[in-house]
């Protein structure tokens, strides 16, 4: 029985299912909303920008976003070229397997799942803390953060089971809300000529500004903010005309995200004045409210209501990211089951052609990652969010690197596409840029996780350990199949 059709025989109670995800369910904009939700733009700005400004290159942070966007764009050229010939919900491990061999591909599948599940768990930690604070402030109901986190897991499971179109509609509302308020603030500041020191174009984008201070830290956080754009390929099976839709969605996502982060961070710095922005960001971080660096100028422009709305939008931004990573991870699990790398039950789909068993397993994995922190009484922001977000970024960058190398090898071997720029030059340049980003992440990993050196070491080692375990499992499975 073919692995592509095996799940047609697997059924959720009450629901006979087919062996493929629902086709023609998403267009370019639908996929784009999933990508933008994964990047949680308000979370990226409110969480990363203050640290990048205070500890990185100060007013030169917008240039770091442009550099990160260029690296991701170079990676995307080869990623898209591969996507024209390989359409699968297990994007990374399938792409890597095509170029570097099935064993390496299977090993990378475990790393991809690790990355998606840990970043989702990190978001659950920050989300629980924010929602707990909001509810206590506005209603007086003071419940532990993990209560809201576990309740949200049930909601995410239900939305994931409701189908990819429902998820896209929910995400569209949240993404438009956070994008709108940040974009309006940036445009208003731009058109009124900036803050007290003007727009400060040279202060943010000149080579000297970009290289001032610790540019590596800024680039590291900028790259981390791009996390999630690769989801375009994961939804290839559910896209309308995937050979056209996925490339368009990928390039559009990279362009929108790069432009958005560069513009908003530039206008934030301008609103304080380039000479004062670094000190303001440092003061906000010292006070334990880094997001205040972002929220204060927006509230000053729009009035007190903005200060009330922004924390709520930060919570919905995190919820959108959580739902997106749930969908990404369960499609990986589904694809692994269909390829017989996991039990066939993982292929079960419900009546809406949404991964049913894979969704339940993903939710269980999220609970397994989050609950120990709750039982130990750990701070969900300083430990769960900080630790797992750092690990996830490192794991994902390694996947980007392996994918870039795989693209070059695949097209040198298969000769399905002979365009040098798309299949050799851009992927090779992207691989060099990503390798540089990995070096920066490793050099600044303690800063990234906000922890101690010993903690940073153990978390860093978890990435090669997971990859190694995946490779061992793949080899064992291969020998068993040959036997």
Q: Which of 95-109, 217-231, 234-248 is the least confident region?
A: 234-248
Share of the chain above pLDDT 90, in %: 33
Residue 33: the pLDDT is 66
More confident residue, 92 or 102: 102
Averaged confidence pLDDT in the chain: 82
- What's the CA gap between 213 and 467, in Å, rounded? 34
More confident residue, 408 or 22: 408
What is the 3 state secondary structure string of 252-292? HHHHHHHHHHHHHHHHHHHHHCHHHHHHHHHHHHHCCCCCH
Average pLDDT over residues 401-424: 90
* Most confident by average pLDDT, 138-152, 244-258, 345-359, 409-423: 138-152
The confidence band for 31, taking pLDDT boundaries of 50, 70 and 90, is low
Tell me which range, 71-75, 166-170, 299-303, is most confidently predicted by mean pLDDT: 71-75
- 390 within 8 A of 459, measured Cβ to Cβ: yes
The answer to whether residues 243 and 84 touch, using CB atoms and an 8 Å cutoff, is yes
- Of the pLDDT bands very low, low, confident and very high (cuts 50, 70, 90), residue 22 is low
Helix ranges, 9-140 (H):
28-38, 41-55, 61-83, 91-100, 102-139
Please tell me the number of Cα atoms within 13 Å of 131 on its side-chain side: 22
Q: Is the pLDDT of residue 6 over 50?
A: no
The model's confidence at residue 270, banded by pLDDT at 50, 70 and 90, is very high
Do residues 386 and 450 lie in contact, with contact meaning Cβ atoms separated by under 8 Å?
yes
pLDDT(354) > 90:
no
Contact 348, 18 (CB under 8 A): no
DSSP state of 390: H
Q: What percent of the chain has pLDDT over 70?
A: 84
| Least confident window among 93-102, 126-135, 208-217, 234-243 | 234-243
**58 close to 215: Cβ distance less than 8 angstroms:** no
Query: pLDDT grade, residue 101 (50/70/90)?
Result: confident
pLDDT at 92 over 80: no
pLDDT at 24 over 80: no
Higher pLDDT, 135 or 55: 135
Using pLDDT thresholds of 50, 70 and 90, give the confidence band for residue 347. confident
Please report the beta strands in 319-381, taking only residues with DSSP state E, as ranges in sequence order: none
Q: Which residue has the higher pLDDT, 448 or 46?
A: 46
Mean pLDDT (whole number) for 378-387:
88
Q: Which class for 94: exposed (0-12), middle (13-18), buried (19 or more C-beta within 10 A)?
A: buried
The whole-number average pLDDT for the span 5-13 is 36
pTM for the full predicted model: 0.83
- Strand ranges for 263-393 from DSSP E: none
Per-residue pLDDT, 463: 93
Q: Between 28 and 287, where is the model more confident?
A: 287
Give the pLDDT band of residue 5 (cuts 50, 70, 90): very low
**CA 61, 219, 443 angle in degrees (round to 5)?**
135
pLDDT number for residue 118: 93
């Amino acid at each position: 029985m073919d692995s592509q059709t095996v799940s047609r025989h697997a059924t959720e109670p009450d629901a006979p299912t087919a062996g493929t995800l629902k086709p023609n369910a998403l267009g370019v904009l639908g996929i784009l909303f999933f990508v933008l939700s994964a990047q949680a733009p308000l979370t990226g700005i409110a969480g990363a920008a203050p640290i990048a400004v205070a500890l990185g290159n100060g007013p030169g942070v917008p240039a770091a976003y442009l550099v990160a966007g260029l690296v991701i764009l170079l990676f995307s050229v080869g990623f898209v070229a591969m996507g024209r010939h390989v359409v699968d919900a297990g994007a990374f491990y399938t792409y890597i397997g095509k170029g570097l061999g099935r064993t390496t591909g299977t090993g990378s599948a475990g790393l991809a799942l690790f990355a998606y599940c840990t970043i989702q768990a990190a978001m659950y930690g920050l989300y629980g803390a924010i929602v707990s604070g909001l509810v206590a402030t506005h209603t007086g109901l003071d419940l532990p953060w993990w209560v809201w986190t576990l309740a949200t897991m049930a909601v995410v499971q239900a939305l994931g089971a409701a189908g990819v179109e429902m998820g896209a509609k929910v995400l569209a509302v949240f993404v438009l809300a956070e994008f709108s308020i940040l974009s309006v603030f940036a445009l208003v500041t731009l058109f009124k000529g900036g803050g007290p020191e003007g727009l400060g174009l040279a202060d943010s984008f000149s080579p000297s500004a970009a290289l001032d201070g610790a540019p590596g830290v800024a680039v590291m956080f900028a790259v981390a903010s791009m996390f999630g754009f690769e989801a375009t390929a994961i939804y290839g099976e559910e896209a309308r005309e995937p050979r056209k839709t996925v490339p368009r969605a990928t390039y559009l996502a990279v362009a929108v995200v790069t432009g958005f982060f560069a513009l908003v961070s530039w206008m934030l710095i301008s609103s304080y004045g380039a000479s004062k922005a670094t000190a303001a960001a440092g003061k906000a971080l010292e006070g334990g409210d880094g997001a205040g660096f972002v929220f204060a100028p927006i509230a000053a422009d729009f009035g007190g209501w903005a200060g009330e709305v922004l924390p709520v939008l930060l919570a919905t931004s995190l919820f959108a990211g959580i739902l997106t990573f749930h969908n990404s991870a369960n499609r990986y699990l589904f694809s692994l089951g269909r390829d017989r790398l996991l039990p066939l039950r993982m292929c079960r789909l419900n009546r809406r052609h949404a991964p049913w068993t894979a969704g339940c397993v993903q939710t269980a994995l999220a609970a397994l990652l989050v609950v120990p922190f709750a039982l130990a009484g750990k701070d969900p922001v300083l430990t769960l969010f900080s630790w797992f977000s750092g690990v996830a970024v490192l794991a994902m960058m390694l996947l980007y690197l392996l994918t870039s190398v795989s693209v070059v090898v695949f097209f040198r071997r298969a000769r399905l596409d002979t365009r040098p720029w798309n299949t050799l030059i851009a992927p090779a340049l992207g691989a060099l840029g990503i390798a540089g980003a990995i070096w920066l992440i490793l050099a600044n990993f303690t800063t990234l996780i906000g922890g101690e050196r010993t903690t940073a070491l153990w978390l860093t080692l978890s990435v090669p350990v997971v990859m190694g375990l995946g490779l061992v499992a793949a080899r064992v499975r291969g020998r068993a199949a040959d036997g």
